[in-house]
Structure 1
Amino acid sequence: MPANLNRQPENHEYYDFQEDYTPKYQEFQDFDDSRTKLRELIFFARLAFFCIVTILTCFILLVAKFPPLFAFPSALLISWGVTAAVKSAFKHFKAKQ
């Protein structure tokens, strides 16, 4: 394909460019570290509580001669229910204060 030799160079002075005056950076907004740390601590406490309840429930079900195929899923469901009940109890207790 032949090059366009008759092409005139564009002169950008003829065009009206509007410069964008928005800043190229944004101010850093500091997070509330104490609130974030408390949320993380509560998350890991709930996780540890779920694990402990699961282990104890599974142990009780296995000692009671429950079949292992049903003991482990039952223990997971029971511990999930207990954890949800404790969470709702804390929310109810917190709402009363």
Structure 2
Amino acid sequence: MRNLKRGMHSAKDVTVSLAIDLTNNGANGVKRILSALLILCISTPAHSYGGPGAGIAFIGTLISLIGIIAIGGVGFLWYPIKRLLKRNEKEQETDEQ
């Protein structure tokens, strides 16, 4: 970790320093977190046009998800049915002989 260039920190160093900062400052660290959350929660509307692209993407994702679940369900049920049908065919062949 010491080999990092001056001013650059790894994610682990930042996480450890943040944890130490919160434990050393006590209430001050909690105030920082609450202030950051308050700033994030109080946002102004963008007043921009989103367009139909997001809705189309959502609908496409929803249809894909429903299709995946349906195909998975059919596959999950079809394999045991297929084995049962093959077993019945083999039993019929042995009965005929």
Considering fraction of residues, name the structure with more helix.
Answer: 2
**TM-score if structure 2 supplies the norm length?**
0.32
Larger-gyration structure (1/2): 1
The alignment's TM-score, normalised by the length of structure 1, stands at 0.32
